[in-house]
Amino acid sequence: MKNLPLYLVAISAVAVMSGCVRENMQAETTVLPSINDVAPSAWAKLNGERIYFGHQSVGDNVLSGIEDIMKANGGIRLKIMKTTDTAAFNGPVFAHSYVGTNGDPGSKIEAFRKIMESGVGGKAGIAFVKLCFWDIRSRTDVEKTFALYRKTLTELKAEYPKTVFVHFTVPLMSYPGGLSNGVKRLFGLPVGPDLDNMRRNELNRLILKEYGGKEPVFDIALVESTLPDGTRAFFTKNGERYYCLAQRYSRDGGHLNEEGKRLVAEQLLIRLTRLTGTDWGYL
């Protein structure tokens, strides 16, 4: 009996080394669209758009990815500017700025509202705000956060009917390994990062249920969790599946590395070229 704890720890260590995230066990696969299939005419149309993007650090990662893509694709000529000056929207622009405070999703939603009401709303043809993985954690009131977002966007859409608002799911964090986390999981003890990702998944389900197939949605969580072979990174808790950021796309478990930046940037650009009619697609 004295050796039992060591035995259990050994089992946990093996589980950790094996990788508890089931990154290759999903029966269904997701095929992400290819940037090579976008017609030159679609890029030309996107180049002429007036876009506003409210974000924080992961948004910087995505914009960095867009800059890299533009260097390799001469047909994509977006005028990226960090500004909320309404004069910038007198012509084509991909304007962006930081909004709110990390850890306070309400502050970001309210900041986005104020920017729209400052004169950007109506002048921007496309607008979106992205929450950060750090905004949604285990103690976040997901229902309250979603209710505020839905109310704000409903009001903005009514106030600025000519602006297309794109809804974003919340970025995820990767599934942390390590002996300590493995032992906790083995004994059914809470692991903070797991609980945080569970909350993010809960909010993303609400967003997709409300807007999926009805209004444009960019499912960044789907992109971040989809591996090159189409399977998705996830973990299970009490029989429920929760998606997470694939470890290969991150440098620190939350922000995107070069591969992750390019993947998310490509998918966002593709999504923006598809904002016509009611063909919102799945991204």
pLDDT tens digits for range 121-149 = 999 999 999 999 999 999 999 999 999 99
Give the CA radius of gyration of the chain: 20
pLDDT at 279 over 50: no
Residue 49 corresponds to which amino acid?
E
Q: Residue 203: what pLDDT?
A: 98
pLDDT at 106 over 90: yes
Measuring CA to CA, which residue among 245, 212, 208, 209 is closest to residue 226? 245
Q: What percent of the chain has pLDDT over 70?
A: 85
3-state per-residue secondary structure call for 35-70? HHHCCHHHHHHHHCCEEEEEECHHHHHHHHHHHHHH
pLDDT at 276 over 90: no
Q: Residue 23: what pLDDT?
A: 41
**Fold (CATH) for 34-273:** Rossmann fold (3.40.50)
Kindly state the average pLDDT of the residues 228-238: 94
Q: What is the C-alpha to C-alpha distance for residues 146 and 149, in angstroms, rounded to an integer? A: 5
Q: What is the C-alpha to C-alpha distance for residues 169 and 223, in angstroms, rounded to an integer? A: 10
Q: What is the C-alpha to C-alpha distance for residues 213 and 187, in angstroms, rounded to an integer? A: 40
Range name among 5-9, 84-88, 132-136 with the lowest pLDDT average = 5-9
Q: Residue 190: what pLDDT?
A: 63
Q: Residue 28: what pLDDT?
A: 62
50 contacts 126 by C-beta, under 8 angstroms: yes
76 contacts 46 by C-beta, under 8 angstroms: yes
The domain ranges of the chain are 34-273
Give the residue carrying structure tokens 């867009």: 66
Kindly state the average pLDDT of the residues 249-262: 97
Query: Hey, which residues does 235 pair with through a beta bridge?
Result: 242
End-to-end CA distance of the chain: 53
Q: Residue 192: what pLDDT?
A: 64
The more confidently predicted of residues 5 and 80 is 80
Measuring CA to CA, which residue among 232, 238, 228 is closest to residue 259? 228
Q: What is the C-alpha to C-alpha distance for residues 20 and 12, in angstroms, rounded to an integer? A: 10
pLDDT at 196 over 60: yes
Range name among 11-20, 41-50, 140-149 with the lowest pLDDT average = 11-20
Query: Hey, which residues does 242 pair with through a beta bridge?
Result: 235
